[in-house]
A = this chain, B = another copy of it.
Amino acid sequence: MSVPQFFESDRAGIEEALDRLLPKEEAHPASIHKAMRYSVFAGGKRIRPILCLEAAAMFSENPVAAVSTGCALEFIHTYSLIHDDLPALDNDDFRRGKPTCHKVFGEAIAILAGDALLTLSFQTLAFVPVEPQRRLNILATIAQAAGTDRGMIGGQVADLEAEKKTPDVGTLEYIHRSKTAALIRASIVAGGIAGGATNEDVERLKCFGENIGWAFQVVDDILDVEESSAVLGKTAGKDQAQQKATYPALYGILQSRDIAADLAAKALSELDFYGERASRLRELAQFLVARRS
């Protein structure tokens, strides 16, 4: 399964917008802006913004609102990686093959750079060019997905609490759905709203997003076991070393692959309604579960 053809052009549009929305590196005080830019431009695949763009494209030919929404999502994703890598959390020295933010800028600036990206995300969302109530819906969708109530932070906390315990199915599900699937689901739903999706569309996108996001994290767990650090750009085998709650730890590799495939199939079935209109989103989903890094 190769990278979809449209991936690189979507990504180029996002890179340009990220550069436009981030404060200039020399803007005062420079150290924080350097750190924010360092982490945002450290080689992320831009999966969330691209999902956002392609979800919007099903409903509108104008990508402008989805591009800035996608950048806001990437700011949140990046802040979560910066804070996650801190010594008090996962204590990671490398991310995407580069030294982590706190290794380069020190812990104080890394903490503040994460805070600043989270703040910038909502500042960006406050100006997404769609009508005000739709803009607020986008913002509320993303805030919920980033928070503690079945959102990203809730998942990170549950993940921390589950370390060194034998994971049970319920805990593992909660962690994966909250830590990863929530923001991926929000990327797709927010993109849909930015493009003009109806309430019925939003319900379908939620179900698609939830399941593809969940599958994405199961695949992430599998890759952590199967691939080398060189391929992943981060320390491989860390989940096992840190005794993280993962699908391979609970089900083994083979059954984990089946679970990811089932989740992906469930996700894709939600797109049947849209026929050809969903072909890019479908291709993207298939790529996300078949990827090797």
Tell me if A29 is interfacial: C-beta within 8 Å of chain B: yes
Residue of B nearest to A22 (CB): B148
Tell me if A261 is interfacial: C-beta within 8 Å of chain B: no
A30 and B84 alpha carbons, distance in the complex (Å):
19
Q: Contact string, A62-92, partner B, CB cutoff 8 A, digits 1/0?
A: 0000000000000000010001001011000
Contact yes or no, B88 A108, CB < 8 A: yes
Contact yes or no, B33 A148, CB < 8 A: yes
Q: Looking at the complex, which one of B27, B112, B148 makes contact with A29 (CB distance below 8 Å)? A: B148
CB distance from A81 to the nearest CB of B (A): 12
Q: Contact string, A121-153, partner B, CB cutoff 8 A, digits 1/0?
A: 011001100001101100110011011110101
Contact yes or no, A28 B143, CB < 8 A: no
A23 and B112 alpha carbons, distance in the complex (Å):
25
A154 and B123 alpha carbons, distance in the complex (Å):
15
A290: chain B residues within 8 A (beta carbon) = none
Tell me if A156 is interfacial: C-beta within 8 Å of chain B: yes
Can you name 19 extra interface pairs (CB under 8 A) apart from A111-B111, A115-B115, A116-B148? A28-B154, A28-B158, A29-B148, A29-B157, A31-B157, A83-B111, A86-B111, A88-B106, A88-B108, A89-B108, A89-B111, A112-B157, A115-B118, A119-B151, A120-B147, A122-B122, A122-B143, A127-B140, A132-B136
Pairs of residues from A and B, 9 with the lowest C-beta to C-beta distance, nearest first? A132-B132, A88-B107, A123-B143, A126-B140, A29-B157, A122-B122, A32-B157, A119-B147, A88-B108
